[in-house]
Structure 1
Amino acid sequence: MVNQVAIHHQVPVLYAASPAVAKRTGEFFAVSIRNLNTRKAYARAAADFSAWCELHGITDVRLVQPVHVAAYIEGLQSSAPSVKQRLAALRMLFDWLVIGQVMPTNPASSVRGPRHSVKKGKTPVLSAEEARALLDRIDTSTSIGLRDRALIGLMVYTFARVGAAIQMRIEDVYIQGRRTWVRLHEKGGKQHEMPCHHNLEAWLHEYIEGAQLGDAKDYLFRSAAGRTGRLSDTPMAQADVFRMVRRRAAAAGIRTRIGCHSFRATGITEYLRNGGKLEIAQQMANHESARTTGLYDRRTDQINLDEVERIVI
């Protein structure tokens, strides 16, 4: 049974005015939000608003008015997306408290956030030539090299998020209709299945066989066991993959400051550049909206570069 006294002391002051408010606030983060990163971001937003309210003499969330939320939002020295996220967090939290009958109305519902429209994402993207050079530069005479080529290939050819890739088990690489498929474990507990490009198919099987991976339930992409050059039984963390990507990029002479997400953007861009359809790319990337997929489309970058080179001085 949940210790209500403990919950009362864990929530920020604004939401601890009564046991009922504290309990309902704690339930919001424990029950309604499943994604850990979202939970952390929303908790920071709630705590930051509580601190602002304390500075202005408000210590009970039931006394918060729309003007208070508007003043808080207006005073934030953050980017528009960050401000919109904080406002969304407060709206959801207050909705939860209203439904739980601990607040009469939602004071954030009528507050407008900053205008923000994005048509192109900021994720650094590689050209097809750069991506190929990076992959070709990997020494595949070792298990670690085989792993890195297979992992980068997975992110390029299936548009996989790194979080989904590192959760894969060996059994998530399987044969269906005489073709190799992969099963990705996406956000929100969703499973997304994709057939493999012939390059990825070869790289995955070479990795599994070359590294002598065993039980089907074991993790597919494992961390290195110290400096032994061997693979451990534990999965790679996102930080491990990021460091690996930066090392491989540096070894290939790539100066663009890429990260794990760059391969998702690179794959989508090259798919569309070669005649792929946006709605199919959306399905492949497992995006809810084609607008989100469009943010990864960097085909116009080359067009803009070609036009700039017309300036001959």
Structure 2
Amino acid sequence: MNDTEKTLPTVSQNRLLTAVDFLRLSEVPPEVEWFANLTNRCTRRAYENAIRDFMAFTGIQKPDEFRTVTRAHVIAWRDDLTQRGLNGTTTRHRLSALSSLFDYLCEKNAVIHNPVKGVKRPKHDSLEGRTPALGDHQARKLLEAPDGDSLRTLRDKAILATLLYHALRREELCKLKVKDFKHERRGVPHLKIAGKGGKTRYVPLHPAAGGLIHDYLERAGHCSDDTGALFRPVSHNTKSNGGKGITPDGVYKLVRAYSGKLGFEIGAHSLRATAATNALDHQADIAKVQEWLGHANIATTRIYDHRKTRPEDSPTFKVSY
């Protein structure tokens, strides 16, 4: 045995990858690697739509054909997106997806530069978000919308309260485990939230939401199933479902159904916008709100800050003769 062989660790004969699988994986193009590394479901779907659109526009058929893309191709695609009537936000997101791919290819030395860099992107359509936020009276009506004391009603009340009092994304709500509801920090109950990008944050549990979650768990009977989902489909809310949670689509439909009956049909993200706007309107520190929402950039949080645009705060009403 030579010196090199002596330094190698002993390997079991029962290898998990066959020789064929090992060779196949070593030949995976970096373009495919990049997509496989997208773990967030929503990001993966959005980026896939963007890359497919670019491939259809340019006629790209194989992964390695991305390495011949130039800035001129990207500019032509951007102009085509605009001509198709896509708004500025959608166009920027699609360019960001393509830029992410080329950043990865640069890192892997598959290309020498990112052709998306330097391509002018559409300006922001507005400093305000497009997601509508509810007024206080509408939020109160929505919290009271589930009527009765059935298991479904108790669950829906708890879900709406959790969204409206903690500004969670629907995916974050669906990821909540029973044990995530049982955290305490300095004697105060907290929710442990698995946010975007694998980031975890702890948010104090609002007493109103906490009481509703307790009522739901008591009726549902899975309070001791710590590793199971906190919110589950009512049709199989027992241990037989393996502790699986309600889906993001289920949360979306739930919010649409209750809000629709009240005459203002909205999506689940509007409840996040409502909570953020309400907190800022009641003088919450914007840096704290940024942390609360799990935003990487405070500019995103400012979208929900309408204090500078409220008519009652205009200098017009400060003038006195």
Using structure 2 for the length normalisation, give the TM-score: 0.78
Match of residue 256 from structure 2: 246
TM-aligned CA distance change 1:249 to 1:114, over 3 Å:
closer
Separation in 2, partners of 1:4, 1:70: 39
Cα offset, 1:120, TM superposition = 0.9
Matches within 5 A, 1:2-151: 23-31=29-37, 33-54=38-59, 60-76=65-81, 77=84, 78-151=86-159
| Counterpart secondary structure, 2:192 | strand
Cα offset, 1:249, TM superposition = 2.0
TM-aligned CA distance change 1:63 to 1:181, over 3 Å:
closer
TM-aligned CA distance change 1:272 to 1:116, over 3 Å:
closer
Asked if the contact 2:165/2:275 (under 8 Å) is kept, the reply is: yes
Asked if residue 280 in structure 1 is aligned to residue 288 in structure 2, the reply is yes
Separation in 1, partners of 2:277, 2:114: 42
| Counterpart secondary structure, 2:182 | strand
Match of residue 318 from structure 2: none
TM-aligned CA distance change 1:269 to 1:28, over 3 Å:
same
- Give the partner amino acid of 1:282: Q
Asked if the contact 1:151/1:221 (under 8 Å) is kept, the reply is: yes
Match of residue 199 from structure 1: 208
Match of residue 169 from structure 2: 161
Cα offset, 1:168, TM superposition = 0.8
Match of residue 224 from structure 1: 234
- Give the partner amino acid of 1:100: K
Match of residue 247 from structure 2: 237
Match of residue 296 from structure 1: 304
Structure 1 residue ranges without an equivalent (≥5) = 8-18, 307-313
* Aligned Cα root-mean-square deviation (Å): 3.0
| Counterpart secondary structure, 1:264 | helix
Asked if the contact 1:221/1:236 (under 8 Å) is kept, the reply is: yes
Cα offset, 1:128, TM superposition = 1.3
| Counterpart secondary structure, 2:111 | coil
Match of residue 309 from structure 1: none
String of CA shifts for 1:183-236, please: whole Å, max 9, x gaps. 11111222111112221121122222232224112211001217x9xx964311
Match of residue 215 from structure 1: 225
Separation in 1, partners of 2:277, 2:137: 13
Using structure 1 for the length normalisation, give the TM-score: 0.80
Asked if the contact 1:269/1:299 (under 8 Å) is kept, the reply is: no
- Give the partner amino acid of 1:208: L
Match of residue 9 from structure 2: none
String of CA shifts for 1:137-164, please: whole Å, max 9, x gaps. 3224111111111111111111111111
Separation in 2, partners of 1:63, 1:198: 57
TM-aligned CA distance change 1:60 to 1:178, over 3 Å:
closer
Separation in 2, partners of 1:136, 1:104: 58
